[in-house]
Amino acid sequence: FARHDLVADSRAIAGFYKDKFRCDPLYISYGAPVISAADFPQAECVLQPLGVEPKGYILQVTRMVPENNTLCLVEAFRKSKTEKKLLLVGGDAYDTEYIRAIRNAAAADDRIRLPGPIYDKRVVNTLLANAFAYFHGNEVGGTNPALLQALGAGAVVLAVDTIYNREVVTDLGFYFSANAAAVAEQLERILDLDKPARKQLGERARQRIARDYNWDDVARSYAQAIQQRVERL
């Protein structure tokens, strides 16, 4: 693309550029696979070393910085009476005060697991497909790949309330404002969901990803955009 061609993978981001810089970006979504627990028959080999069971944990996969609200989740989870585990995958490049605060808070609750970053895609997909729920605390940025992957895995999503997250999740999840009390309230709602309700949300989430965030469609859109650009040269 020449420098005056701009692509946005979020309609909200496209709107920002249009309002702020008076340009009109082309919207092409990001993508994610559609998966289920049945795709990972050896899941026990992944879950057991982490001390969790299928549908027995709430998952977050993220860089642990303040704007991603991991500490907020830990504080809210500690107030719950659930027997489920909290599995926090990720970290940061430095041993920050925020990371230390997360570790200290987690150390007081033996339900919380901190395995650190995991880069093996199949392991991460196994964790997503077997999670009871997925926590998405990212406040900044456009379309988040991990959020798409969680929906593609049929996870029940609890997301911080931003325009970017609502664009992706729509009515397929739960939202919170960035404080522990709000997280705790919505967490209890998710924990109270019965199996049919969770299954229905998961099926609808997979359908949305297959329809609106399909990698084949993304590739075709980029190929078409490049072809049109070449024809204008």
**Mean pLDDT of each 10-residue bin along the chain, 233 residues long:** 77 94 94 98 98 98 97 96 98 92 97 97 98 97 95 98 97 95 96 96 98 98 93 84
Give pLDDT, residue 3. 56
Structure confidence at residue 1 (pLDDT): 46
| The two structure tokens encoding residue 226 | 């490049």
Rounded-to-integer distance, Cα 13 and Cα 19, Å: 10
CA distances from 197 to 154, 168, 169 (A): 12, 20, 16
Distance of alpha carbon 33 from alpha carbon 124, whole angstroms: 12
Question: Residue 143 in contact with residue 168, Cβ under 8 Å?
Answer: yes
What is the rounded CA–CA span in Å between residue 75 and residue 144? 24
pLDDT at position 13: 94
Q: What are the structural domain ranges in the chain?
A: 1-29, 31-212
Superfamily of domain 31-212: Glycogen Phosphorylase B; (3.40.50.2000)
Per the CB < 8 A criterion, the answer to whether 28 and 14 are in contact is no
The amino acid sitting at 165 is N
Distance separating alpha carbons of residues 207 and 154, to the nearest angstrom: 9
